[in-house]
Amino acid sequence: MHPALSVIFFTTATGAGYGLLTLLGLAAASGLVVPDRWLGFVALGLALTLITGGLLSSTLHLGHPERAWRALSQWRSSWLSREAVAAVVTYVPAGIFGIGWLVTGRVDGVIAIAAFAAAVGALVTVYTTGMIYASLKPVAQWHSRFTVPGYLIFAIMTGAVLLHALLLLFGNDARGAGTFAALAIAAGWLWKTATWRHNDQLTLSSSANSATGLKDGAVRSIEWPHTEENFVLKEMGYRIARKHAAKLRRLVHLLAFAVPLAAIAVALVAPHWLAVLAACLAVVAQAPGMVAERWLFFAEAKHAVTLYYGR
């Protein structure tokens, strides 16, 4: 599939934003958040900025971005519409949570309830995003048990790395957050490795025979149906060389998982100034690593329609 940059930014930015919002909301509902207005301003501001920026970038992939609002009306049948509805609804408790934290400096009572609702809304939104791809039967790499959990795990993982760095920057005790972030990175690493192993061993249920509807004999293509590249081939027939995919996978292993995990391990035992640097390194390294992971998520996916074109 064609790896559109707008969709890649959307999935990585909103994933990190919703992950951070989820952890902030759950922490507030559990009474674990320090009532620090500046921490709330920066943390919630960063989460909502990533979410809003990602959602706006996703409209750039539409042929008519001005009609994006119509996606809200198809929630009964479309996961894309459910994602849009969930994203809009989540802004309400997130706004109450933010205003309460910043104005009153407290995160209890009604504010804690709103924080929990925002966390639930964030998780539901990430779930619907994953289901957009998991529901596509023609793309075998997406239509699997690995897709939706992967979206949820990576959202929590990237959000945890951001939260750990923010707590250290504001001089708070971040040992619990660091331990959780390290566990989340380890879980994400294992899940991504298992996903790639599954996809590499995947046997496609479709064939040239099923794609053309010709059941008898061995169907093969002797010439293309078109003399030039068309929209279907451009969007669904994108191909990446195996050697390039292998290099990018190594980059993902290094930047998205290995470096952040090592940096957070250092932050857990180092003095404060070094812990801050290590936590920031984890954030800076993981961002391009997750962009590469999302790029591969699209580039390595194969749509069954390409069988009709002899691919």
Cα–Cα dist 115/112, whole Å: 5
Tokens of 119: 């966390």
CA angle 84, 88, 94 (to 5 degrees): 140
What is the distance between the terminal CA atoms of the chain, rounded to a whole angstrom?
Answer: 13
**Residues facing 139 on adjacent strands:** 303
The per-residue pLDDT for 31 is: 82
Tokens of 212: 């053309």
Cα–Cα dist 128/296, whole Å: 20
Cα–Cα dist 44/146, whole Å: 29
Number of neighbours of residue 143 by Cβ within 10 angstroms: 15
Torsion of CA 248, 250, 255, 258, to 10 degrees: 160
Q: Residue 238: which CATH number?
A: 1.20.1630.10
Residue 54, amino acid: G
Cα–Cα dist 264/262, whole Å: 6
The per-residue pLDDT for 157 is: 97
pLDDT (tens digit, 0 to 9) for every residue of the chain, 311 residues total? 677 888 899 899 999 999 999 999 999 988 887 778 888 899 999 999 999 998 888 777 666 665 666 666 777 778 888 998 999 999 999 999 999 888 887 788 889 999 999 999 999 999 999 999 999 888 888 889 999 999 999 999 999 999 999 999 998 888 999 999 999 999 999 999 999 999 988 877 666 676 667 777 777 766 666 666 666 666 666 677 677 888 999 999 999 999 999 999 999 999 999 999 999 999 999 999 999 999 999 888 887 777 666 65
The per-residue pLDDT for 270 is: 92
- Using only C-alpha atoms, what is the Rg of the chain? 21
Overall domain count for the chain: 1
At 218, give phi and psi (nearest 5°).
Answer: -100, 110
Of 249, 279, 284, 287, nearest to 262 (Cα)?
A: 279
Cα–Cα dist 47/125, whole Å: 14
User: Which structural domain, as residue segments, surrounds residue 202?
Assistant: 5-309
Three-state SS for the chain is CCCCHHHHHHHHHHHHHHHHHHHHHHHHHCCCCCCCHHHHHHHHHHHHHHHHHHHHHHHHHCCCHHHHHHHHHHCCCCHHHHHHHHHHHHHHHHHHHHHHHHHHCCCCCHHHHHHHHHHHHHHHHHHHHHHHHHCCCCECCCCCCCHHHHHHHHHHHHHHHHHHHHHHHCCCCCHHHHHHHHHHHHHHHHHHHHHHHHHHCCCCCCCHHHHHCCCCCCCCCCCCCCCCCCHHHHHHCCCCCHHHHHHHHHHHHHHHHHHHHHHHHHHHHCCHHHHHHHHHHHHHHHHHHHHHHHHHHHHCCCEHHHHHHCC
Cα–Cα dist 81/163, whole Å: 29
